[in-house]
Chains A and B, each alone.
Chain A
Amino acid sequence: MDHLLALGDDALVAAQRLGEWVAAAPELEEDIALANIALDQLGAARMLLTYAGELEGAGRDEDALAYLRDDREFRNCLLVELPNGDFAVTMAKLLFLAAYQLPLYTALSGCADERLAAIAGKARKEVAYHLDHARLWTLRLGDGTAESHRRMQSAVDEIWPYTHELFQPDPTAPVDPAGLRAEFLAIVEPVLAEATLTRPADGWAPEGGRRGLHTEHLSYLLAEMQVLHRAHPGARW
């Protein structure tokens, strides 16, 4: 079930961060686009967490898993829990997340677990749109004005180290993410080059999310997300 939690928690935490952008985006069209992407991620999270709860067999549904686990029990990568930062940071996070999720969901859509394959097949189409959206913004910001170039380069530099964790080996998962880094780089490197951005050197590689060792940010994110649900134990909504 851990591999389902990793996928589901990535999607849930990404949706939660994107939801913070509502009514704050640089233009109206972008409010709509970010909400759309958040809805896609949330939809995938709900299916994955529901399935994880069923496999566990302890009666936990999507809400029990989303609202009643503590940060040490979350299995998402660190990248998704990082604060939104400015629009460039948000787009760097989205670009790298989508460039990881696309080959991952594509591979999972052919895996032996039919239920997971169906979820991945649907999510794959959505993630292709997320990737396209992030790619276009990376180009506009990287190759736009001097200020946008500076901000986009800084965002890429800041987020790049967190991409290593995405490809940590997990031989027990239906698709081992370790095999996807080459595809990730084949997507991301040409985008950075066309955007006139420098691809950061590999080095520092923070990790721990898949084992429940998170950044300091996740506990705050969960405090906000879970506050109302936890204040009314057992209530239906």
Chain B
Amino acid sequence: MHGHHSPVPGDGPASGLLDQVEEAEAALRAAAERGRPGAPDGHAVDADPQEYFTALIEADQKIEPRDWMPDAYRRTLIRQIAQHAHSEIIGMQPEGNWITRAPSLKRKAILLAKVQDEAGHGLYLYAAAETLGVSRDELVELLLAGRQKYSSIFNYPTLTWADVGAIGWLVDGAAIVNQVPLCRCSYGPYARAMIRICKEESFHQRQGFEILYTLAHGTPAQRQMAQDAVDRWWYPSLAMFGPPDRDSVHSAQSMAWKIKRFSNDELRQRFVDMCVPQAEVLGLRIPDPNLRWNPERQSYDFTPPDYAELMRVISGDGPCNRQRMARRRRAHTEGAWVREAAAAYAAKRAGRGPAATRPAARDGRAAA
């Protein structure tokens, strides 16, 4: 976004992925224009609901909230969308950790806006989950009770300013690689939320890349800070794609339902292939001695992340799991009296009827 640095070729590190988001958006519109198979009004009264559901999926039409869907499809989506929403909310913490210490006012403003976007993404995703018949309050309770997960990556600490850059470049980069295919997810509200989110994420990734580029081309201490951050975030970012395909429990059914379009290992490979040339532009080293181009596969060979560590972090024993959950619970508990007051006030206003709105209007004029 700042031309004088000009570190990023083309439209940015994720520009190819952004094209795919645009294509997904066009496909969504095209599907809507084609109309649904065998039911001009969208509701086939006579058809067997299971068959109709399958026909919609096969025709690359979107499943909408009022459509019949198998319980397992609904449960899978609720689990996945909620986990995604929780990740946005918990993900505010590691980056929010640097808002008060951002090293320039411009960086402070960019970081505040980014963390605010994450809260906004959390809101759209909770709204998408609510279309499946579960309330945001229930989902928040499940998170706070430890019964629903969030992305394990946010259980690592942000120890230096460069970590904010590394999160933008690697973590948001991995998130985009994961999420771009979700723009074609068979469930309409989720696909539409993902299109919007991916566009903003690509902007965040570019900002993270720019932070690292500036550090890598700064003082020796800044350069060292940048390399240290990449060294610490590389493998946890690779682990964001989940366990290897041979161990992935949810994948096959999700692929059949077109919730998921590519396997964990395919997406991980795509991410590595995207990052290597970007690391060269940054002038930073990816901490993998086995990283090399494989001409036969037309991809990079690389060392996989430590999946045992991933499992430990998922099960609660990462460096910051306890801290992240404690902070979320504290905000929730300490805010309870505020939410109760807002509900009590709204109830009083409803009880008083329209006359109660007059003083507010008068104050509005006084304030203007």
Distance to closest chain A CB from B84 (angstroms) = 14
- How far apart sit A32 and B120, CA to CA, in the bound complex (Å)? 7
A28-B119, A35-B112, A128-B367 known; A66 vs B339 contact (CB < 8 Å): no
**Does the CB pair B367–A224 fall under 8 Å?**
no
Does chain A have a CB within 8 A of B107? yes
- How far apart sit A189 and B222, CA to CA, in the bound complex (Å)? 51
- How far apart sit A35 and B119, CA to CA, in the bound complex (Å)? 10
CB under 8 Å from chain A, chain B span 75-112: 89, 92-93, 96, 99-109, 112
**Does the CB pair A26–B344 fall under 8 Å?**
no
A66-B105, A232-B103 known; A25 vs B331 contact (CB < 8 Å): yes
The listed residue (A28, A46, A131, A194) touching B89 by CB distance below 8 A is A28
**Does the CB pair A139–B360 fall under 8 Å?**
yes
Using CB atoms, name the residue of chain A closest to B120: A32
Mask: chain A, 10-43; 1 = CB below 8 Å from B; 0 = not: 0010011001101111111111100110110011
Does chain A have a CB within 8 A of B327? yes
- How far apart sit A114 and B340, CA to CA, in the bound complex (Å)? 46
Does chain A have a CB within 8 A of B113? yes
**Does the CB pair B367–A28 fall under 8 Å?**
no
The listed residue (B103, B108, B215) touching A42 by CB distance below 8 A is B108
**Does the CB pair B340–A148 fall under 8 Å?**
yes
Does chain B have a CB within 8 A of A77? no
- How far apart sit A22 and B360, CA to CA, in the bound complex (Å)? 29
**Does the CB pair B363–A191 fall under 8 Å?**
yes
**Does the CB pair B116–A23 fall under 8 Å?**
no
Residues in A whose Cβ lies below 8 Å from that of B113: 35, 39
**Does the CB pair A141–B109 fall under 8 Å?**
no
Show 27 A/B contacts (Cβ-Cβ < 8 Å), sorted by A: A19-B108, A22-B92, A23-B327, A24-B327, A24-B331, A28-B89, A30-B338, A31-B116, A32-B123, A38-B112, A39-B109, A39-B112, A43-B109, A99-B367, A140-B346, A144-B340, A144-B341, A148-B341, A186-B366, A187-B363, A187-B367, A190-B362, A191-B363, A194-B363, A224-B101, A229-B104, A232-B219
Besides the known contacts A25-B331, A86-B334, A151-B337, 19 further A-B residue pairs in the complex with CB atoms under 8 A apart: A22-B92, A22-B112, A23-B93, A26-B338, A27-B335, A30-B335, A32-B119, A39-B113, A45-B105, A132-B367, A143-B345, A191-B363, A224-B100, A234-B219, A235-B221, A236-B214, A237-B103, A237-B107, A237-B211
